[in-house]
Amino acid sequence: MWWIYAILSALFAALTAVFAKLGVANINSNLAMGLRTIVVLCMVWTIVLAKNEAKGIGSLSKQHLIFLFLSGIATGLSWLFYFKALQIGKVAQVAAVDKLSVALTIILSVAFLGETLTVKTAIGAVLIITGTLVLILK
């Protein structure tokens, strides 16, 4: 079942890139990202409240809060750089290079989370890195 959610995530990420490229045309990329973030904030909290899932907030540990805070900072920085890249680059190239995050995630998950690196996963990461280099090198 996880792969259905992952495919839906990829589909909406693709739509995000196309819509964002149109949205950042002739405006400040930080302003565009700020407006987009308000929409995301409202949408997510509407879902959390509608499904009565906010009740779990009291059970969050200090560790949960620290790592969710750090994840939020990383997300914000990622979006800021992504929007700036979309503003000045071609959406197909920016979105493809952004997927270097998959290879970097594989490396970080092995290094910091102790996940197993299989040959298949390593080959996939090398191909992603190679593809990224092909796109960014002249």
With respect to residue 113, please indicate whether it lies within any of the assigned structural domains: no
Q: What total of structural domains would you count in the chain?
A: 1
With respect to residue 128, please indicate whether it lies within any of the assigned structural domains: no
pLDDT classification of 138: cutoffs 50, 70, 90: confident
With respect to residue 119, please indicate whether it lies within any of the assigned structural domains: no
Total Cβ atoms within 10 A of residue 125: 19
Q: Could you please report the per-residue DSSP string of the chain? A: -HHHHHHHHHHHHHHHHHHHHHHTTTS-HHHHHHHHHHHHHHHHHHHHHHTT-GGGGGG--HHHHHHHHHHHHHHHHHHHHHHHHHHHS-HHHHHHHHTHHHHHHHHHHHHHH-----HHHHHHHHHHHHHHHHHH--
Structural domain range at position 56: 2-98
Residue 136 has pLDDT above 80, yes or no: yes
Overall pTM > 0.85? no
Tokens of 33: 């990202």
Mean pLDDT value of segment 7-17: 91
pLDDT value of position 135: 87
With respect to residue 126, please indicate whether it lies within any of the assigned structural domains: no
Say how many residues make up the chain.
138
Higher pLDDT, 1 or 46: 46
With respect to residue 19, please indicate whether it lies within any of the assigned structural domains: yes
With respect to residue 73, please indicate whether it lies within any of the assigned structural domains: yes
With respect to residue 138, please indicate whether it lies within any of the assigned structural domains: no
With respect to residue 115, please indicate whether it lies within any of the assigned structural domains: no
